[in-house]
A and B are shown apart, each in its own frame.
Chain A
C-alpha cells in the first residue's frame, strides 16, 4: 500500500493506493475506495483509467515538486504538504515567504513604484510586470518597509523570481 499526501489550494488530501490484480483500489481520505484500472500510461502525461467501468482521463505533468493535473479544462496543482507555508490573506496554498514578493508571471518589469526604505500599506502597488501586452500590478501582501529591490525597470523576470523584500509591520499569525 502507498500513501500520498497532496496539498491543493491549501487543503491537504490523503490518497491511499492498494495494488489489485489488474488495477488499484484508490481511497481519498476516509471515502470508500474506488476501483480503477489504468489504460494509457506509457505516454508521459496521459493518465487514463476506468473508474468502476467508466473511462476517465487526465493530464499529469511533473514539475520539480508534486503534480499539475488537468481534468476537463481545470488545472489543479498538487504539492507535497511540507514545502508550502500558508501566509495570512492568501487564497491558495502557494505563497511567498513572509518578507518577500515574487513575480506572479514571467515578463518585463516596466515600472517600479517604491524605493528602499519606503513604507507601504497592504495592497500598495510595488511594481508592474508586463507580459503579453498586459500590465500586471504586483501588490504588497502586508504593510511594511521596503528593504531591497531585486529588479530594475526594463528587466526581464521569471515567474517566482523575488522582486521585492520588505520588513512587515507585524508578524502575521500562522
Chain B
C-alpha cells in the first residue's frame, strides 16, 4: 500500500468506517472537524485532527480550500470523501489532484459525465445499458414532435427539463390531451430557472423497485460488479432499510443487471467504488436511473454477502493496485442475506419529527451476525447541523428469515436513551406482511404502510414509574440508609451524576407545545 496518511473529508460513522480500514492497512488517519464535532468520536479516533471551522457544513465540511489546507498541513497523501458533502463534486477532485494528492474515488471526468441527466442517458444508451424509454432534446415549443414522440413512449410519462435538477421542471402526464400544457409549464420553468427550454420525455415506470448494483473499477480496466441491493423501502426518497440480495432478482436477472452495471462503469472511464441505480418494473424489465459516484451508506450489506471490504478495496484501487481475485466470469454469487436498518433520530409516532440532543445512555447490539456502524457514545450531544442518522444496524443471516429474526433481536438489544429513534418503525416494518413477503416498491411505504398505534395503557409506563421511584430512592444514598439530601458530598455515583447534570444546566423538557412539525 503506497498511502502513508489519509485524510477523511467527512464526519460521523463513515469517517470511523474509513479510519478502521486505514488502521487495518497500517495507514495513519487525519480527521477534520467543525466546532460542533469537537468531541466527536471520529476526532478522538484519528491520529491527527484538524479544525476546519464552524458547525454549518457550508463553512466547514463543504469548503474545499479548508480541506485541502488540512491535507497539506498534515502531509496527507490521499483524501477519502465518504458520502455526501464533497464526495461527488468534480471541482473538489480537480483541486485535490492539482495539489498532487490522490482522490480516493472516481475521476472528475466520470463525475461530470454522469452528473448531467441527459448526457448520462445518452452515454448509457450508447453503451447498451437499458434506459427508461423516452425521447431526448425536444424543444418545448415543438408540440408536433413531442406528440409523435409521446405516442411512441406511451403514457403515463414524465416531462422533464433537460437542464433541471432537484425535481424542478418535472411533470407527470397521463393523457395526450395534457401534454401541451405540461410542456409549456416545464419549458417555461426550465427557461427561467436554467436558461434552457429543452425538455425530454420519459416513461413513468411505476410501481417499480429501486435496485442498485455495487461496482468497483481499478486503473487496469477491470470492473467488478458485486450484485444487487434492494432499496425500495423509502420515505420521501430517503432509504430506510436496505437488503442484499433482492427477493425480486433471479440469478439470470442478476447476471444481466451486473453486465449492465459494468457497461455503465466502462462507458465513462469509471474508477473506484460506485453504484449503478436501476428501476425494476413488475415485468422484470430494468432501466438505468443514475450512478452514485461514491461509496454509499448501505455498502456494508454488500460486504457481508460477498465477503469483501469495499473501503479496503477503495484504498487499494486508488493506490493503483488491481481488484483482488478478479475474475471476469459473470457475477459472484451472494452468500446468505444481509439487511441494514438506518437508525435515525426521528419519532415514527410523530410523522418522523426529528429528535436529537444528549445521548443519556447507549448500548450497541452484539452477537452473531450483527454489526453496528455508528458515531454514538454516552454524553454525545447530537449536533443539529448534519443529518439525523445515528447509526446503521447491519445484520447477516444464512437466509432472509434468519436475517429478519436477527434484525428484530438486534433492534431490541440496541439501547439509545435520549434522542427518540425510529427503532419502533423498523420493528413494525419487520412485522408487516408485505415486507415479509418482499412485496414492496418505492412508493409502498408512503402509500401502504401505517405505524401501528402505541399500546394504551402502555405496560412500559409502570416500569418507568418503578424505575424512577427507585432512582429517586437510590440517589439519596445507600439503598438502606436514611434519605440524605441529593448532592451531598458523600453521595454515591447516582448522586454525583445528578449533581453533574444539574450543574450542566441542561433542561430537556419536550412535549407538544401547540406546534406541529412538517418535515420537508
Contact surface of A with B, Cβ cutoff 8 Å:
2, 4, 6, 8-9, 13, 15, 17, 19, 24, 26, 28, 34, 36, 38, 41-47, 49, 51, 56, 58-79, 87, 89-96, 101-102, 104-108, 131-142, 159-160
Contact = CB atoms under 8 A, between A and B. Distances in A.
Contacts, number: 235
B360 A68 contact: yes
A105 B470 contact: no
Contacts of A28: 462, 465-466
B493 interface: yes
Given A15-B469, A78-B468, A56 B497 contact: no
Most chain B CB inside 10 Å of its own CB: which residue of A43, A65, A69, A91: A69
A132 B509 contact: no
A96 B509 CA distance: 11
A136 B412 contact: no
Given A6-B465, A69-B464, A74-B424, 4 more contacts: A64-B501, A67-B471, A105-B354, A106-B357
Most chain B CB inside 10 Å of its own CB: which residue of A2, A62, A63: A62
Interface stretch (B67-75, B254-262, B276-284, B510-518): B510-518
A43 B356 contact: no
A63 B424 contact: no
Nearest to B482: A19
B518 A17 contact: no
B300 interface: no
A134 B517 CA distance: 9
Interface in B462-508: 462-475, 479-480, 483, 492-494, 496-498, 501-502, 505-508
Contact of A17 (B469, B498, B505): B469
Nearest to B360: A61
Interface string B356-371: 1100110000000000
Contacts of A101: 513-515
B105 interface: no
Contacts of A131: 354, 356, 384
Given A131-B384, A134-B520, A139 B514 contact: yes
Contact of A38 (B387, B470, B496): B470
* 10 nearest CB pairs, A to B: A141-B514, A94-B511, A44-B497, A92-B511, A58-B467, A70-B417, A61-B360, A91-B512, A69-B464, A59-B417
Contact of A74 (B460, B474, B493): B460
B506 A63 contact: yes
Interface in B412-427: 412, 415-418, 420-421, 423-424, 427
A138 B356 CA distance: 17
B115 to A, nearest CB: 21
B417 A4 contact: no
Nearest to A94: B511
26 contacts: A13-B465, A24-B473, A44-B497, A45-B360, A45-B378, A56-B466, A58-B463, A58-B466, A59-B360, A59-B417, A60-B471, A61-B361, A63-B501, A63-B508, A67-B468, A68-B508, A69-B467, A70-B361, A73-B412, A74-B454, A74-B460, A89-B514, A95-B514, A106-B357, A139-B514, A159-B508
Contact of A64 (B353, B462, B505): B505
Nearest to B508: A63
Q: Is the interface of A mostly helix, strand, loop or mixed?
A: strand
B388 A134 contact: yes
Given A59-B361, A132-B386, A102 B513 contact: yes
B458 interface: yes
Nearest to A87: B514
A94 B509 CA distance: 7
Contacts of A59: 360-361, 415, 417
Contacts of B508: 61, 63, 68, 159
B345 interface: yes
Given A76-B461, A136-B354, A90 B512 contact: yes
A64 B501 CA distance: 7
A38 B89 CA distance: 55
A43 B515 CA distance: 37
B355 interface: yes
Contacts of A43: 493
Contacts of A17: 469-470, 472-473
B509 A77 contact: yes
A76 B464 contact: yes
B356 A106 contact: yes
Contacts of A132: 345, 354, 356, 384-388
B202 to A, nearest CB: 27
B514 A72 contact: no
Nearest to A96: B513
B148 interface: no
Nearest to B495: A44
Most chain B CB inside 10 Å of its own CB: which residue of A42, A64, A74, A107: A74
B519 interface: yes
A15 B465 contact: yes
Contacts of A6: 465, 468
B497 A92 contact: no
A23 to B, nearest CB: 8
B77 to A, nearest CB: 33
Most chain B CB inside 10 Å of its own CB: which residue of A17, A105, A142: A105
Contacts of B454: 74
Nearest to A36: B466
Given A41-B479, A94-B513, A140-B514, A47 B470 contact: yes
Contacts of A64: 501-502, 505-507
B421 to A, nearest CB: 8
